[in-house]
Amino acid sequence: MLGSMKERDFRRLSTFVQQQCGIKMPPSKKTMMEARLQRRLRALNMVDYHHYCEFVFSPRGAESELPHLIDALSTNTTSFFREPHHFQYMTATLLPTWWQHFGHSRELAVWSAGCSSGEEPYTLTMVLAEFQEHYPLFRWFILATDINTQVLERAAKGIYPEDKLHSIPAVMRKKYLLRSKDRSKKLIRIISELRERIRFRRLNFMEPFQFREPMDIIFCRNVMIYFERDVQERLIRNFLKHLHPWGHLIIGHSESLAGMDLGLVQVAPTVYRKA
């Protein structure tokens, strides 16, 4: 049976994780860290957390274990149509206004930053596909990124348990979801026409990143709550470098940009437009 993690090892790992990917690991997270790392210790046949910590900071471990460490400690809570007012604003205001400005002159570019297991970007595909039914020349694509490689693999498959679907409107369930032929499995899959609209990619916010084209809409919801305030502001400023003039940034209901001088105009709760 594993003993408790030594405070020194917790401090080393928590500092390292925050430096590498921005995620805060205060002392209150020690029990969570121990629980989440148990699987890694079993996979590596290690008997205690101290040996694991030493391995992480060894030359071999630094090269091979970092993705597994981050996968284990990153949080991936999400659902379809989470915080629905954002999608209502898109449908009622943002998309019609964007269409008036740009029409079919170019694609709408949307970034789901911190996409977790894919529910957010697939929700976006449904919303955009519905809009396209009214404007057939409307073109769009979605970039979906996360630091966790395991959830990205699941997201790319687009397969979910049926009990995850309650928040998807019935009309969209009929159009965009396929049930498993084996009904005992109670699984659904997002239709290929929507899966093909999303580019999944691993991205660490703490590392330099760039895109071929600026984004029109950036969804970064309930991600920054895990970062210190100065890291949040630095990240938002980096987002703005990749956002079109008039582009929109959408954050989570528990997040705030109050006190940050960013050149953004709030147009709805937790919805901001680049000035």
Taking CB atoms within 8 Å and a gap of at least 24, the contacts of 252-259 are 252/83, 252/221, 252/222, 252/223, 252/224, 252/225, 253/83, 253/221, 253/222, 254/222, 254/225, 255/221, 255/222, 255/224, 255/225
Helix then strand then coil, % of the chain, to nearest 5:
50, 20, 35
How far apart (Å, rounded) are the C-alpha atoms in residues 101 and 138? 12
CA 173 to chain centre: 22
Torsion of CA 129, 133, 134, 140, to 10 degrees: 40
The set of catalytic residues is 36, 146
- DSSP secondary structure, 164-196, as one string: G-TTS-HHHHHHHEEE-SSGGG-EEEE-HHHHT
How far apart (Å, rounded) are the C-alpha atoms in residues 111 and 219? 6
What is the CB neighbour count within 10 angstroms for residue 234? 15
Q: Are 138 and 105 in contact (CB under 8 A)?
A: no
Cα distance from N-terminal residue to C-terminal residue, the chain = 57
Q: Quickly tell me which residue has 């032929």 as its tokens.
A: 181
What is the CB neighbour count within 10 angstroms for residue 174? 9
Q: Report DSSP state, residue 247.
A: E
